[in-house]
């Protein structure tokens, strides 16, 4: 059986992972490399113990662990609400897009035959309609008057 190298063991020691949950379900992990973050935190390079009788290695390890713990707790306190807020926003975006698609179906038709008849009546192609639909769906515009938007898009052509 092979043993992990010292570099791999050191790498594992320096990695911090924050698991994010929404409604009790893990949705992601943030990995931080303490070896890379530490120089940003300890930019003054004050690794010396404040007194001769304090073991320098133990002091450095204890300080680094305490700072890492505080950083982790702080990140969790700040990121969990932010992720929750962004998930709510994503839910609203999803609902908006579904409503826009449903509105388009109500305005233009639910079947391919209805859309083909509508585009033929307006002197445009199915490809024109598809382009219009997807652009309208993906932009921030309101789906209030799709027929006006369809006519305006025809004028731009």
**pLDDT of 1-24, one tens digit each?**
445 455 544 555 788 899 888 888
CA nearest to 32, candidates 4, 88, 74: 74
> In this predicted structure, what is the pLDDT of residue 75?
92
**pLDDT of 41-89, one tens digit each?**
888 776 678 899 999 999 988 999 999 999 999 998 998 889 889 999 9
**pLDDT of 105-132, one tens digit each?**
999 999 999 999 999 999 999 999 999 9
151 Cβ neighbours under 8 A, 6+ residues apart: 122
8-17, 30-39, 110-119, 144-153: the lowest-pLDDT one:
8-17
Check: pTM over 0.85? Answer yes or no: no
How confident is residue 98, by pLDDT bands cut at 50, 70 and 90?
very high
Tell me the three state secondary structure of residue 135.
Answer: helix
Report how far residue 28's alpha carbon sits from residue 144's, in angstroms, rounded to the nearest whole number.
Answer: 37
pLDDT of residue 102 exceeding 50, the answer is: yes
Indicate the domain borders of the chain. 11-91, 109-157
């Amino acid at each position: 059986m092979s043993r992990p190298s010292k570099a791999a063991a050191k790498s594992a020691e320096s990695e911090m992972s924050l698991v994010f949950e929404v409604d009790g379900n893990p949705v992601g992990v943030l990995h931080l490399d303490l070896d890379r973050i530490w120089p940003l935190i300890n930019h003054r390079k004050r690794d010396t113990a404040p007194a001769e009788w304090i073991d320098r290695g133990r002091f450095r390890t204890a300080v680094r662990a305490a700072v890492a713990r505080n950083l982790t707790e702080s990140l969790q306190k700040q990121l969990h609400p932010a992720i929750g807020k962004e998930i709510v926003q994503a839910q609203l975006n999803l609902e908006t897009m579904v409503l826009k698609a449903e509105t388009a179906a109500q305005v233009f038709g639910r079947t391919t035959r209805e859309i083909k008849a509508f585009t033929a009546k307006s002197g445009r192609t199915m490809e024109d309609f598809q382009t219009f639909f997807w652009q309208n769906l993906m932009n921030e515009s309101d789906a209030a008057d799709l027929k006006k938007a369809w006519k305006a898009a025809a004028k731009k052509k």
